[in-house]
């Protein structure tokens, strides 16, 4: 059996790593295509190195562009490779443009598609990722869900339940593996340790921030309000903000007060960010993956979005939706600082063994 795994952006790499590692112990032939959707070294290359993923057999180097242009370029390149390789299965992850492009090409060429992290829904079709999720799930032959709400969503949409299997959250596989790696190899997180020393940040005594969604960072007025809210909180607890390249461009155009305890930094590798996350008091984010990681780590998470495709992080975990209510953001951060942050529990099958369960499914097909 030949399997091709398609990735293109930072969230994909954390999902690829444990599955590639697990499949390497089986007779399954696997190859990796990196579309180059994320082309910045800190957003792409460093993840292959830190997560110990072999270099992909194909790197398309697609780069930036509108959603339509990016997806179209990927489809053209992927079709050539799929026709050349003729895989039995193509595995796609999550909800990025690379995921949609691969699914569309497979559907047009009669190649079976497996979607890892199927069934998640925000029910907000203004988000490009929501379109990617819906279309990919409709086209997939095997839909592997991270949580029971994924199964429920797919059932509502009329997906044949025989194609849907609850396997757990593969992001948590990477999380647990990486934490063990850091413990054994502390030299791998020197940039994170340097930041803690530079700003004299004590464990569980600082706020960590990450923002990248257009709805938050492309509007200068809104981004300015977010910075002001974080700046006010920084008088109570230091705030560390590794700035995504997209966010940095807008941030440089803004004029705001100088907050001595609000620290802007360059992007970090996965291991470094994970170490800071594990040692933070709370996260402020608009990332889907971080909502999951904080739930697994038991760390309060405040999400600057009106909705989430990961509602289990709210019903079971430590996550809260803040939306555009920056007074609520300040209030909830104060609650956390005073020891009244939201508690949660780890959802079913978020145990670090999801990749093994996926491998078992493919081995039964042999």
156 and 245 inside one domain: no
- In this prediction, residues 34-54 reach a mean pLDDT of 73
Residue 344 lies in a domain: no
Residue % of the chain over a pLDDT of 70? 98
Q: What are the DSSP calls for 73-99, one per residue?
A: HHHHHHHHHHHHH--SEEEEETTSHHH
In this structure, are 165 and 183 located in the same domain?
Answer: no
Q: What is the pLDDT of residue 213?
A: 87
| Rounded Cα gap, residues 313 and 171, in angstroms | 13
Going by pLDDT thresholds of 50, 70 and 90, the confidence category of residue 39 is low
Helices vs. strands in the chain: H and E counts, helices first: 16, 13
Q: Residues 126, 235: one domain?
A: no
Question: How many domains does the structure of the chain reveal?
Answer: 2
Residue 92 CA to residue 16 CA, distance in Å, equals: 9
Please check whether residue 248 lies inside any domain of the structure. yes
Asked if residue 128 and residue 216 are part of one domain, the reply reads no
- Asked if residue 69 is part of any domain, the answer here is yes
Cβ neighbours, 10 Å, residue 185: 10
Q: Band of the pLDDT at 330, cuts 50, 70, 90?
A: very high
Exposure class string for 228-263: b at 16+ Cβ within 10 A, else e: bbbbbbbeebbbbbbbbebbeebbeeeeeeebebbb
Claim to verify: residue 361 and residue 303 sit in the same structural domain: no
Task: Examine the domain organization and report whether 155 and 245 are in the same domain.
Answer: no
221: number of Cβ within 10 Å: 7
pLDDT band at 209 (very low <50, low <70, confident <90, very high): very high
Is residue 234 in a domain?
Answer: yes
244 or 225: whose pLDDT is higher? 225
Which pLDDT does position 49 carry in this prediction? 81
* Within a domain: 9: yes
Are 198 and 293 in a shared domain? yes
Cβ neighbours, 10 Å, residue 24: 11
Is residue 345 in some structural domain? no
- 133, with CB counted inside 10 A (0-12, 13-18, 19+), is buried
pLDDT tens string 231-247: 999 999 999 999 988 78
Q: Inform me whether the pLDDT recorded for 321 exceeds 70.
A: yes
13 and 128 co-located in one domain: yes
* Residue 75 shares a structural domain with residue 90: yes
Question: In this structure, is residue 342 part of a structural domain?
Answer: no
- What is the spatial order of strands in the sheet that 29-34 belongs to? 58-59, 29-34, 2-7, 89-93, 112-116, 142-145, 164-166
Averaged pLDDT for residues 13-30:
96
Q: Are residues 210 and 300 in the same domain?
A: yes
For residue 359, give its domain range. 2-169+350-365
pLDDT of residue 44: 57
User: Of 50, 290, 296, 346, which is closest to residue 181 (Cα–Cα)?
Assistant: 50
**Which pLDDT value is given to residue 260?**
96
Query: Is 224 part of a structural domain of the chain?
Result: yes
Measure the CA–CA gap between 12 and 354, rounded to whole angstroms: 15
Does one domain contain both 160 and 193? no
Q: Which residues contact 109 (CB under 8 A, 6 or more apart)?
A: 79, 82, 83
Catalytic residues: 212
Query: Given this model, what pLDDT does residue 254 score?
Result: 86
Average pLDDT over residues 133-144: 98
Predicted confidence (pLDDT) per residue in 75-103, tens digit: 999 999 999 999 999 999 999 999 999 99
CATH number, residue 249? 3.40.50.2000
pLDDT over 60 at 30, yes or no:
yes
Average pLDDT, rounded, for the chain: 94
Q: Is 151 in the same domain as 14?
A: yes
């Amino acid at each position: 059996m030949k399997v091709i795994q398609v990735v293109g952006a930072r969230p994909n790499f954390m999902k690829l790593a444990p599955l590639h590692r697990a499949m390497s112990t089986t007779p399954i032939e696997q190859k990796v295509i990196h579309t180059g959707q994320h082309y910045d070294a800190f957003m792409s290359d460093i993840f292959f190195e830190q997560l110990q993923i072999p270099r992909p057999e194909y790197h398309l180097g697609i780069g930036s562009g509108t959603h339509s242009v990016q997806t179209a370029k990927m489809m053209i390149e992927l079709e050539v490779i799929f026709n050349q390789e003729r895989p039995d299965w193509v595995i796609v992850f999550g909800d990025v443009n690379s995921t949609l492009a691969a699914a569309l090409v497979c559907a047009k060429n009669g190649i079976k598609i497996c979607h890892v992290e199927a069934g998640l829904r925000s029910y907000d079709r203004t988000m490009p990722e929501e379109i990617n999720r819906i279309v990919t799930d409709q086209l997939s032959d095997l839909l592997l869900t991270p949580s029971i709400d994924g199964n429920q969503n797919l059932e509502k949409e009329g997906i044949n339940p025989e194609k849907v299997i609850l396997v757990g959250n593969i992001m948590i596989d990477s999380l647990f593996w990486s934490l063990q790696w850091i413990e054994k190899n502390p030299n791998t997180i020197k940039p994170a340790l340097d930041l803690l020393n530079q700003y004299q940040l004590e464990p569980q005594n600082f706020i960590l921030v990450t923002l990248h969604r257009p709805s938050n960072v492309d509007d200068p007025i809104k981004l300015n309000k977010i910075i002001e809210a974080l700046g006010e909180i920084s008088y109570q607890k230091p705030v560390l903000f590794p700035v995504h390249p997209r966010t940095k461009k807008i941030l440089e155009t803004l004029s705001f007060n100088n907050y001595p305890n609000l620290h802007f930094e360059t992007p970090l590798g996965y291991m470094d960010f994970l170490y800071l996350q594990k040692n933070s008091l709370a996260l402020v984010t608009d990332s889907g993956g971080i909502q999951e990681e904080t739930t697994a780590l038991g760390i309060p998470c405040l999400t600057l979005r009106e909705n989430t495709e990961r509602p289990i992080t709210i019903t079971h975990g430590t996550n809260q939706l803040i939306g555009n209510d920056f007074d609520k953001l300040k209030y909830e951060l104060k609650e956390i600082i005073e020891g009244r942050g939201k508690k949660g529990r780890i959802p079913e099958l978020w145990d670090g063994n999801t990749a093994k369960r996926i491998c078992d499914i493919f081995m039964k097909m042999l």
